């Protein structure tokens, strides 16, 4: 197993997803989402994930989102900020095609900006779970966006085939991109050690 993605909630708890290491075996539904509390107690929060990816919370701090990439789904959970409990797992967004949502960032309007691995784009998903915008990039494997003000910095991975064999329109994997999307990102939280 290895860790893949993580995020910190409003009360300083660190959430991280673990998955099968693809260098050892093909990922299966043995993935787990863990929560590390400020007192350093570790909790298994969600099991039977394949590749747990993007994790984040809406601006109201009452919904947590979690991507399970190979399923094509981003799940929503009711979130209790005081206790860190999650419940009522449901599908917030299903890409419905053989592309994978990867990491995401959340803006101050509560929209998710999800990287689409194999799809060459970032999509903006509304709080209602609808695609309301997209950013097209010159490579297929988009991995994760993050906000700096209104600018979205976007990481990508090199393609599985030799880049020289790809058309120019999708050749530029493994690079960092930046685009101003006109909306600010939701501020990030920091882990808090218990006093």
Binding site per annotation, positions for a divalent metal cation: 53, 102
Please enumerate in sequence order all residues whose Cβ is within 8 A of that of 159, keeping only pairs 6 or more positions apart, or say none.
Answer: 139, 140, 141, 166, 170, 171, 173
Summarize the annotated binding site for substrate as residue ranges: 2, 4
The number of C-alpha atoms within 13 Å of 62 and in the hemisphere containing its C-beta is 2
The size of the chain, in residues, is 195
Summarize the annotated binding site as residue ranges: 2, 4, 53, 102
Catalytic, out of 5, 9, 68, 102: 102
DSSP, residue by residue, 148-166 = ETTEEEEEE---SS-GGGS
Could you confirm whether 102 is annotated as catalytic?
A: yes
- Tell me which H or E stretch contains 177: strand 176-180
Active site residues: 102
């Amino acid at each position: 197993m290895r860790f893949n993605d993580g995020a910190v909630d409003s009360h300083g708890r660190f959430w991280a997803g673990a998955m099968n290491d693809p260098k050892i075996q093909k990922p299966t539904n043995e993935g787990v989402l863990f929560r590390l509390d400020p007192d350093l107690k570790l909790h298994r929060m969600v099991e039977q994930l394949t590749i747990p990816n993007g994790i984040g919370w809406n601006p109201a701090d009452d919904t947590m989102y979690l991507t399970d990439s190979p399923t094509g789904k981003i799940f929503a959970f009711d979130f209790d900020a005081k206790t860190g409990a999650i419940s009522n797992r449901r599908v917030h967004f299903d890409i419905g095609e053989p592309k994978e949502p990867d990491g995401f960032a959340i803006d101050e309007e509560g929209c998710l900006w999800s990287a689409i691995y194999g799809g060459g784009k970032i999509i903006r998903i509304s709080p209602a779970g609808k695609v309301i915008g997209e950013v097209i990039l010159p490579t297929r494997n988009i991995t994760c966006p993050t906000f700096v003000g209104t600018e979205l910095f976007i990481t990508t991975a090199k393609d599985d085939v030799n880049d020289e064999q790809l058309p120019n329109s999708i050749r530029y994997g493994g690079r960092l991109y930046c685009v101003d999307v006109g909306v600010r990102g939701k501020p990030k939280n920091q882990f808090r050690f218990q006093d």
